[in-house]
């Protein structure tokens, strides 16, 4: 039914006429986009990587959660990511400062990632040094 509704209601837009073709190179020529790209790598990419690659095995191995519980935890994390994204608009109006709201949110994300992986790297370094010193 949905496919029939789409076929009935959705029409192709008018063909674009002009010099710009709408390629990725045209997008990369926009200076405003260059300021957004680092934010994407700092804020979204680590959280998405954690949620997609690391959190499932971590919850299964460390907390002995079954597949259903891991799925529920990932659903909650995904909803939190969406809610966090939607919170930027109202926070922008509350604090009347778009740049500092975004900066603070990204700083919190970066500190959380560094704390998480920094602790793991420190633990790995301690284990390595301890095993190296006690081997010989």
Domain ranges of the chain: 36-135
Flag whether the pTM goes above 0.85: no
Instruction: List the structure tokens of 95.
Output: 């604090």
Q: In which residue are the tokens 């959380």 written?
A: 112
Using DSSP, state whether 29 is helix, strand or coil. Answer: coil
What is the spatial distance between Cα 5 and Cα 71, in angstroms, rounded to a whole number? 32
Which tens digits make up the pLDDT trace of 41-66? 766 777 788 788 888 888 888 889 99
- Give the pLDDT band of residue 68 (cuts 50, 70, 90): very high
- Per-residue pLDDT band at 112 (split at 50, 70, 90): confident
């Amino acid at each position: 039914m949905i496919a029939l509704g789409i076929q009935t209601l959705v029409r192709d837009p008018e063909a674009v006429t002009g010099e710009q073709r709408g390629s990725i190179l045209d997008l990369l020529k926009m200076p405003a986009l260059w300021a957004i790209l680092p934010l994407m790598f700092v804020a979204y990419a680590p959280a998405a990587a954690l949620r997609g690659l690391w959190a499932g095995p971590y919850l299964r191995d460390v907390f002995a959660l079954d597949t259903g519980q891991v799925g529920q935890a990932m659903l909650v994390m995904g909803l939190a990511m969406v809610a966090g994204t939607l919170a930027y608009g109202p926070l922008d109006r509350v604090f009347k400062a778009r740049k500092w709201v975004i900066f603070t949110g990204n700083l919190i994300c970066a500190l959380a990632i560094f704390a998480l992986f920094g602790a793991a790297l420190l633990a790995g370094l301690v284990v390595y040094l301890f095993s190296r010193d006690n081997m010989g």
